[in-house]
Amino acid sequence: MSRVLGYLFVLIFILSLNFALPRFLPGDPLTALVGEQDLIISPEFRQELKQRYGLDQPLAHQFGQYLVRLLSCDLGYSFYHQAPVSAVIGPPLRWTALLCGASFLVSTILGIWLGVELAVRRSRPWTAAVVGVCLVLASLPGFLLGMALLLGFSLKLGWFPFFGALDLVPQVSGSATWGSGILRHLALPALTLVLAELPGVALLVRGSLLKVLQAPFVLAARALGLTETRIKYRYQARNALLPLITRLGLRFGLLWAGAVPVEVVFAYPGAGQLLFQALLKRDYPLIQGLLLVGILAVLAGNALAEWGYRLADPRVRSRTWY
């Protein structure tokens, strides 16, 4: 109960910050909206814009309006896209969920597997080479990796599309073709994110596992005659999971922000790119809407991490919470 109240308090505090932060950004939305054509647009239109977006109202009034709208689940009206914020962010959030969800899942599963193998087979010469590759991949900027994949697989080989998230003109009817179009568009952006995220997961698991490889419980498990695979994943890996869960919990809420460079390279219509553009255009309602979603994702990530601790570690489960 106390934890729920804690989250509620954080949410209320953040909602207020959410309103204030975009307005702390230097630069005004009208100038950002019309850009260099500020001088060319008609004066009547300029006045009309101010009224339309409530920018001629005092800040306190704008804040009141924001809260009232929020209570009725209205996120406001985007200055730039001239549409309700919920309609603007809906489709990009779905694409982001697909891209980040897929890459998060794949990078986590493959990362755990690779980390375990690197730790268990640490004496083999190839593991040093793989660790080196992991370090190189982890240090590469996402957009560079994405651009290399785009040039190689799309431009040179012609295997994958250049931009977007689905076929613009469905080639032939049928859900199989529609689905394969989505998969083809997803492949390279997701691969970029997996390659960027997997090394970190693998190295973390490897590091944590190295500490428990010779632990007494491992000796006990071997004495019981358990298989090596069972010992590796059921006992050793599980004991090394706690730092990884912390990392994944923190990462979960920030996934979409990390996807921004990849979304830009592949013109993947996700929410990260939308937030980036909204910040450039000082689109206050859109920034507020997206940050709200981001905040909820971070809170959800923290809650999932806590739940994950309790699932992975019986010691945490048995502890009394006050």
Partner 1 sequence: MKNNKKVVWLALLVVILAGIGFFSAGGGTASQPYLIGDPQGDWGFPSPLAHNPRGPGYLRVSFLFDTLIWKDDKGFVPALARTWEYQDSPPTYVFHLNPQALWHDGQPVTSEDVAFTVAYLKKHPHPWVDTRPVEKVEAPEPHTVRLILSRPYAPFLEEIAGTMFILPRHVWEQVQEPSRFQEPRAAIGSGPYTLVEYRREHGLYRFAAFEKYYQGKPVVPEIGFVQVGNELVALKGKAVQAASVPPEAIQELRTQGFTVLSQPHFWCLKLLFNHRRFPQREAAFRQALAHALNLPDLVSQALRGHGLPASPGLLPPDSSWYQASQTLYGYNPAAAARLLASLGYRRTAGGWEREGQVLELELLTAPAYARVGEYLEKSFREIGLAVRLRQMDHVVLDQRVKSQQFDLALSGHGGLGADPKMINDVSLGPLAAEFLGGYQPSPQLTQLLADQLHTLDQNQRRKFVAQIQELLARELPALPLYYPTWYLGHDGRLPWFFTKGGIAKGIPTYFNKMALLPQTLPVSSP
Which positions touch partner 1 (CB under 8 A)?
26-28, 31-45, 48, 52, 80-83, 88, 91-92, 95, 147, 150-151, 153-155, 157-165, 167-172, 177, 180-181, 183-184, 187, 191, 264-269, 274, 280-282
At which residue do the structure tokens 């490889």 appear?
Answer: 213
In the bound state with partner 1, the residue whose beta carbon lies nearer, of 43 and 314, is 43
Q: What is the DSSP letter of 36?
A: G
Nearest distance in Å: CB 16, partner 1? 24
In the bound state with partner 1, the residue whose beta carbon lies nearer, of 181 and 199, is 181
Cα–Cα distance for residue pair 284/28, rounded to 1 Å? 10
In the bound state with partner 1, the residue whose beta carbon lies nearer, of 189 and 301, is 189
List C-alpha distances in Å: 254 to 30, 135, 202, 296, 298. 29, 21, 19, 11, 7
Nearest distance in Å: CB 65, partner 1? 17
Neighbours of 79 (CB within 10 A): 22
Nearest 5 degrees, angle CA 42-CA 44-CA 48? 120
Contact 244, 201 (CB under 8 A): yes
In the bound state with partner 1, the residue whose beta carbon lies nearer, of 92 and 308, is 92
Q: Work out the burial of residue 1: count CB atoms within 10 Å of its CB; fewer than 13 is exposed, 13-18 middle, 19 or more buried.
A: exposed
Cα–Cα distance for residue pair 98/111, rounded to 1 Å? 19
Nearest distance in Å: CB 183, partner 1? 5
In the bound state with partner 1, the residue whose beta carbon lies nearer, of 72 and 173, is 173
Torsion of CA 247, 249, 254, 256, to 10 degrees: 110
Nearest distance in Å: CB 229, partner 1? 11
Neighbours of 160 (CB within 10 A): 20
In the bound state with partner 1, the residue whose beta carbon lies nearer, of 140 and 147, is 147
In the bound state with partner 1, the residue whose beta carbon lies nearer, of 75 and 305, is 75
Centroid of chain to Cα 68:
29
Cα–Cα distance for residue pair 310/121, rounded to 1 Å? 29
Nearest distance in Å: CB 70, partner 1? 20
In the bound state with partner 1, the residue whose beta carbon lies nearer, of 117 and 200, is 117
Nearest distance in Å: CB 274, partner 1? 8
Nearest distance in Å: CB 37, partner 1? 6
- Alpha-helical (H) ranges within the chain are 2-24, 29-34, 43-52, 59-71, 85-120, 125-139, 142-149, 175-212, 216-223, 228-230, 237-239, 241-258, 260-265, 271-280, 284-312, 314-318
Contact 111, 138 (CB under 8 A): no
Nearest distance in Å: CB 220, partner 1? 26
In the bound state with partner 1, the residue whose beta carbon lies nearer, of 63 and 113, is 113
Nearest distance in Å: CB 87, partner 1? 8
Neighbours of 23 (CB within 10 A): 15
